[in-house]
Structures are given as C-alpha cells and as structure tokens.
Amino acid sequence: MQTHKARIGAASQGSRVAANLTGVAKSQLERGYVLTYPGWLVPTERIDVKIRLLTDLKHPLRHGAEVTFFTGAAEVIAKVHLLEKEKLESGEISWAQLALANPVALVKGDHFIIRSPMDTLGGGMIVSSHAPRHRRFRPAVIQNLKVRGEGEVEDVVVATLETDQPLGLEKLAVQCALATEEASMIIGELIKRGRIVAVGHGGQNLLFTKSGWGRLVKKAETAVENYHRRFPARSGMPKGELSSKLGLSPNSPALRRLFDDGVLIEEGAAVHSPSYKVQLSQQQQAKIDTFLHALNQNPYSPPGDMTLEPDLLNLLIEQQKVVKVSDGVVFSAPAYKEMMDKVIAYARAKGKVTLAEVRDMLGTSRKYAQALLEYMDEKKLTRRVGDERVLR
C-alpha cells in the first residue's frame, strides 16, 4: 500500500490510499468497490436507515420517491420506503428502508447522503445492511429499529437477530458491524442469560432469539399435530415435508435439536409428536385383518386381487408386518424371511440359483419368484449374472 507515493504498512480511516491488487484487472473495478477480508462483507440491495432531511427543502420527500444514494465512493439509484409517514417534510427525521437498484458493500453505522436531480435532500445512518422487507406503520418494527440504532450492543444483537433468524455467528457479526471475536463474546454471554438459543455445533451452529426459537418449536408442533389429524392412520409426517414447512433443510441442526429435546420423535423418515399413536377405525382394522389373513392362507403365492389402501399398507410395512417386493406383490414378513432364507441357503450350497429353481423350491409361480429375486437384488443380497443369481 502507498499514500502519496510513500509505502505504508497500515492506513487510517479516511486517508488516501493506493493498493496493489494481484489477479484483478483494472477493468473489473468500479466506483464504490471496497477492499475487505474474504467473505466478511456481502453486498446488499435493501437497507434500514434513519433519514434526516435538510431544513431548507422546498418539497417534501414522499414514500416511494426515487433518489440517488451516496455512501463512501458508491453512487446508486434507490427507492425510499418511509416506515412511519406518507411524506417527510423539511428538517424531519424518519425510519425508512432504501431499496438499492444495484448491490452496494456497506455495514451498519455507515453514513449516507441522498439527492434528487436538483438538490441534496438529506442523509443519515445505516441501521441494518441486510434488511428484510418491512410492513409500514408497525410499532414493533419501529421499536426494533430504535433498539438497533440507539440501544446497547447486546440489545442491538438481539434486535438484529429478531428480524432475520436463524443466522450464523459470522453473518450476525456483519449485520451488527462487530468483529467476529467481539460478536462471539457477546453472543456467548447472551446464550448464558437465555436471550439467545444456539443450535448445532461448530460451523453448523445457528442462532435464534429465545422468542424466535419458541415460535419455531410451536410451529413445528402445530404442523405435526395437524398432520396427525388429517392422516390418523399414518405413523407420522414425512421429515422432508416438515422441514419444508419450517423453511429448514432436512439436515438442519435446528431440526435435529427438536428431536434431541424430545419436542418431536423421529422414526425413520417420519416424525410424530411424543404422545401420538396411530388411530384406526373398526373398519380400517377389519380391512387389515382380512388382508393379513389372505396373505397367510397361501404365503408364497398371495392372492393378487387383494388390495389395501396405501395408508394402511404403508402402516403394515412400517410395522414390519409385510414386505412389498414390487407393485402388486406383497408378502407377509414371516413368509418373506422364510423364502429369503431358503434362496440364500440354496445359493450358498450350489454357488448359484436360477429363477426356475426358486419357483420350484417355493412351489410358487414365476411371477412371485421373479419379484422376490429382483427385490433381493435391490437389497444387495443377490446379484444377477446372466440367467442366474449369486450371493453378494
């Protein structure tokens, strides 16, 4: 780095600096670009601000007005969304959002100026560099902005997280304009006091406010309970469907925390509430009993015309009472195990087994023997070699 052609090791804020950048062409740089640590500063297109207009303006600043926004060396068109008023008169102050036409790199606490084509209108301070869209005239929104703009640092961290959660430590630190180390210490203290909830470990750690985590827990419980009411014959809600409703990935540490805390119970790919039990009507139970009885009458060649509605069949599969080897072919679990054991024993003794040998061994038809062998291939118990099967 240099300043006025003299080499320097460090530059103070506001000084004129020349930096030698490797691997970057001059044509790739534009006015408003900033030099920062990798991954720390993410350009934004929506910010929360506190605006103060100049005292000698002839016309008010109206909600929805288009202005030119200046911060640092950046210059970009922005649309003003006033959160408290329809218009802002000369000398007045208001909380607002600015929607930027192009992304700008900035942080909380940066100052800005806004201009119309003819005049400088005013300026202010950036309160949030990555703001979600706010609804206007909401006291809770205004109070949150006041805390983030004027409160103690711990209150600022909590208020910032409240507007956009969950967040990782580094992202929250950026939005609060804090160094990562300082943010880590503050967040650690807030976790001890119970104001912030951390879920996960290491790089997967996600942060919620206490109230935000409570809302997520309630939303998860409600979603699963509603699913139980809609589908009383199912063992639970698919985990993927629950994660989608909560806006989380299926592997999210927040979802894992719900299971670890016993808020919900995970069984395979299904999720249910702790007290839930499958509720079958007398008619549904009668259908299941009839179906199982039919399978046991001729276990190696069950009747092909016997069907069971998907929810009840899936329940029997989850309860490991039946095994569905293909569409239209279902064996009772004991029958499947007997057949599988016989095929494996024969193949182990002979070194191989054919479809015809399985058919004759079990006294069944080609249809059932083939379905059984293809299922065993799928489960990697056997492997097809030409017209024969060998053990894996």
The residues, ordered by sequence, that sit 6+ positions from 191 with a Cβ below 8 Å of its Cβ are 197, 198
pLDDT tens per residue, range 116-174 = 998 999 999 999 888 889 999 999 899 888 888 887 889 989 999 998 889 998 888 88
Instruction: Read off the pTM.
Output: 0.65
pLDDT level of residue 328 (50, 70, 90 thresholds): confident
Given a contact cutoff of 8 angstroms between Cβ atoms, the answer to whether 92 and 84 are in contact is no
Whole-number pLDDT of residue 69 = 97
Distance CA 140, CA 376 (A): 60
User: 176-205 pLDDT, tens per residue?
Assistant: 878 788 888 999 999 999 999 999 876 568
Task: Quote the mean pLDDT of the chain.
Answer: 91
Confidence of residue 379 (pLDDT cuts 50, 70, 90): very high
Q: Quickly list DSSP for 297-310.
A: HSTTS--TT----H
Both tokens assigned to 236: 């639970």
Cite the beta strand spans of the chain per DSSP E: 2-3, 6-7, 44-53, 61-62, 66-71, 74-82, 87-88, 93-104, 111-115, 120-128, 196-199, 206-209, 237-238, 265-267, 270-272, 322-326, 329-332, 353-354, 382-385, 388-391
State the Cα–Cα distance between residues 78 and 113, nearest whole angstrom: 11
Q: In this predicted structure, what is the pLDDT of residue 77?
A: 97
Domains of the chain listed by start with CATH number: 44-128 (2.40.30.10), 139-209 (1.10.10.10), 212-272 (1.10.10), 297-392 (1.10.10.10)
Q: Residue 179's pLDDT is what?
A: 78
